[in-house]
Structure 1
Amino acid sequence: MSKTALLLIDNQQSFYQRGYSETAETPAFEQKISQLIVGCQQKGIPLIDVFHVEAEGPFSRESGLVERLPFLHHQADKTFYKHVHNALTESGLESWLREQQITEVIISGLRTEQCCETTARVASDLGYNVIYITEATLTFPITHNGVTLSVADLRHHTESVLINRFAKIRTVEQCLQELE
């Protein structure tokens, strides 16, 4: 049994209502997360879908949008629903990971600097070894106080604040090689 699990965070159609669309980064993200999924499947690593849900709107289960993005065709080993930014708090995921004796999590999904980064921080604080695959995460530019941070800026910031503190930053290829 694997001591590692792949967390596929918020890869859901709800984001079509909140900015997920074809961007310059989308094709590379879709290719890399698909490659990561296939590689983990081949290694027997459990695939965990985590979906964000809210009481109403596009993130409500009743909306019909809390479903995998159309390009993803994997069969999840387990699915969890979260109501907060990180995947571990009150979703049931953390207790499931403990029951399965999983000690390492691979982070991927939407959005790089929000739910993925927050999950990495919480997982680290809970004692998990965290592998963060930035290229298998996706985000969108953010403007605040007249300053726009690009996708590259946000990715660089996330990697900078996580590396050697909360997570190992890896490419898909590096991650899969290290799991040999």
Structure 2
Amino acid sequence: MTQTALIVIDVQESFRVRPNWQAVNHPDIADRVNRLVTASRARGDLVVWVLHTEPGTGGAFDPVNGHVRLIEGLQPADGEPVLTKTSHNAFTTTHLQQLLTQYGIREVIISGIRTEQCCETTARVGSDLGYDVVFVTEATATTPLPHWTLPADASLEEVLADPRTLSPEVVTERTEYALAGRFATIRTLDDLTGLAVAS
């Protein structure tokens, strides 16, 4: 029985319909995730898909608008669980922990959108729950992070013009600093996809 699960978090069309997607650091996130998925399946690992929903909000994450679906090019195989969450991490509002226990999972590999938000939060919670967490930063994506005082409806142009805005590269680096050695092991795409070829 496999002891490793790949968790694919929020790689969904909801993000692509938002203006700030134009400034995403990894517009090819679906291809990056597919590399991980292919390698995980080849090793016999469990692949778990997670989608974020915000019912009743009328926004990009409200299921009624049709964007809460995997980005084109991603497709769960038969039997691979697809969970929907309403919290930032993939555990609190789903039965993910029960699922991982059922499969005897001890290690989780984290990928998805956004690096510093749902992916990082899931990594931290997963670590606290006792899982060995592998964080594949290259298979995560994020957008520029505005200063908290900037209005929520600020345009992408305003966000990018603000000198306090953190670039995706800085956000990603900070996530790695926060996780490494505390909550997760940082691994590269080549690390994990090479294993499938070698085994």
Alignment equivalent of 2:142, drawn from 139, 144, 162: 139
1:118 aligned onto 2:114:
no
Query: Where does structure 1 lack aligned partners over 5 or more consecutive residues?
Result: none
Q: Does 1:163 align with 2:165?
A: no
Give the unaligned 5+ runs of structure 2: 150-161
TM-score (norm 2): 0.83
Of all paired residues, the percent bearing the same amino acid is 40
Q: Distance in 2 between matches of 1:129 and 1:178?
A: 18
Deviation sequence 1:19-65 (CA, Å, 0-9, x none): 46354733453332221111111111111110111122221222221
The residue aligned with 1:10 is 10
Which range moved further: 89-98 or 159-168?
A: 89-98
For the pair 1:70 / 2:87, whether they are aligned, the reply is no
* Number of the residue aligned with 1:109: 112
Residue 117 of structure 2 is aligned to residue 100 of structure 1: no
**1:140 is paired with a residue of what secondary structure?**
coil
Moved more, 139-148 or 71-80: 71-80
Q: 1:172 to 1:90 in 2, by over 3 A?
A: same
Q: 1:91 aligns with which of 94, 97, 101?
A: 94
Q: Please identify the structure whose Cα radius of gyration is greater.
A: 2
User: Partners in 2 of 1:90 and 1:50 — Cα distance?
Assistant: 11
Show CA shifts across 1:66-123 (max 9, x none): 1100132342610111110000112111111111111110000000000000000000
Q: Structure 2 CA distance, aligned partners of 1:121 and 1:3?
A: 19
Q: Which residue of 2 aligns with 1:39?
A: 39
Maintained 8 Å contact 2:11/2:113: yes
Query: In structure 1, how many angstroms separate the alpha carbons of the residues matched to 2:168 and 2:66?
Result: 28
- Give the structure 2 partner of residue 26 of structure 1: 26
Change (3 A) 1:150 1:43: same
Distance 1:102 1:16, change over 3 A: same
Is the contact between residue 19 and residue 140 of structure 1 (CA under 8 Å) also seen in structure 2? no
More strand by share: 1
1:154 aligns with 2:156: no
TM-score normalised to structure 1 length: 0.91
Give distance in 1, aligned partners of 2:39 and 2:22.
25
CA RMSD of aligned residues (A): 1.9
Residues 52, 85 of structure 2: 8 Å contact kept: yes
Amino acid at match of 2:123: A
